[in-house]
Amino acid sequence: MAVVALVVHHDRPSAAALAHETAAWLEAEGHEVRLPVDDASVIGLDRFGVAGEALADGVDLAVSLGGDGTMLRTVSLFAVHDIPLIGVNLGQLGYLTEVDPANLQEGLRRFFAGGIPLQERMLLDVTIESRSGAITVPRDLALNEAVLEKTFSGHTVRLDVAINGHRFTSYATDGLIVATPTGSTAYAFSARGPIVAPTHRSLSLTPVSPHMLFDRTLVLDADTEVRVVVMGHRPAALTVDGRHLGELRRGDAIVCTCSAHDALLVVLEPRDFHQVLKAKFGLNDR
């Protein structure tokens, strides 16, 4: 029998209800169910709560019940352990989620039966060099992006960029996004970055409202190292896949590279990325 972890959106009653239903069904089928302790407490499934590194130990499948934000949290908990992930769409756009709630049990049966393909998505390894001590987290992992951006309205932040150890340029900007192909349809898209097929392997460097003539996205090889250093007296807020990690100060930096791990997304039905784009952006009627 399988060990299945459920990660649940804390503020959606529909996610909590589906978690209760799915946990009961999995138990009845003889499977072991786990939830992060916080999730289990919030939705009233405390007996399934598992803390810390023990949560991922021996897990065969992680199921995200929510929207893309919940899926990103699921990736942060399980992707480094090379555990397959499946997303249930209880949100809106649902770029990362694979199945609708009504089809979850059938999807799980098919996964347990074997033979379901996995789609590999590149992850971003973010190393944090906080000489100031403002951020104590040494590294993080992202499916979408790492972002350094201004902390004061009306002021830019100055960021110096090196590529593969060679200085490229400095940006006076509202922010700078280092994105994966999956992240090209997230924050980078709103900053007018390019749309990249999610199974491609590359890094994209996109400035947010830069106060300079050079305002284009750089699309770089997957084996590229991008180092971004905070310059000047204004700090920069660091966010990784929507998780605010704190502020970096003058001389602090992040180093972004392709991770040795991939996010392994369960593919229950073939999904054409271009058709997904058409549906999400309402292009079918044009």
pLDDT of residue 100: 87
pLDDT of residue 65: 96
Domains 3-117+267-280 and 123-261 share a fold: no
pLDDT of residue 76: 95
What average pLDDT does range 276-286 have in this prediction?
Answer: 73
What average pLDDT does range 56-61 have in this prediction?
Answer: 98
Q: Which of 57, 60, 68, 285 is catalytic?
A: 68
Q: Is 68 a catalytic residue?
A: yes
Distance CA 78, CA 24 (A): 22
Helix or strand or coil: residue 224?
coil
Q: Is the pLDDT of residue 282 over 80?
A: no
271: confidence class by pLDDT, cuts 50, 70, 90: confident
Distance CA 156, CA 227 (A): 19
What average pLDDT does range 134-141 have in this prediction?
Answer: 94
Q: Determine the topology of domain 3-117+267-280 in CATH.
A: Rossmann fold (3.40.50)
As a whole number, the mean pLDDT across the chain is: 94
Neighbours of 172 (CB within 10 A): 14
What average pLDDT does range 105-124 have in this prediction?
Answer: 95
Distance CA 51, CA 24 (A): 21
Q: Is the pLDDT of residue 2 over 80?
A: yes
Higher-confidence residue: 210 or 284?
A: 210
Helix or strand or coil: residue 225?
coil
CATH number of 123-261: 2.60.200.30
What average pLDDT does range 132-137 have in this prediction?
Answer: 93
Helix or strand or coil: residue 8?
strand
What does the domain layout of the chain look like in residue ranges? 3-117+267-280, 123-261
Q: Is the pLDDT of residue 91 over 80?
A: no
Query: Model pTM greater than 0.85?
Result: yes
Distance CA 39, CA 35 (A): 6
Q: Is the pLDDT of residue 44 over 90?
A: yes
pLDDT of residue 277: 78
What average pLDDT does range 183-187 have in this prediction?
Answer: 95
- Secondary structure (DSSP) of 19-52: HHHHHHHHHHTT-EEEEEHHHHHHHT-GGGEE-G
- State the DSSP H helix or E strand holding residue 279, giving kind and residue range, or none if neither: helix 273-280
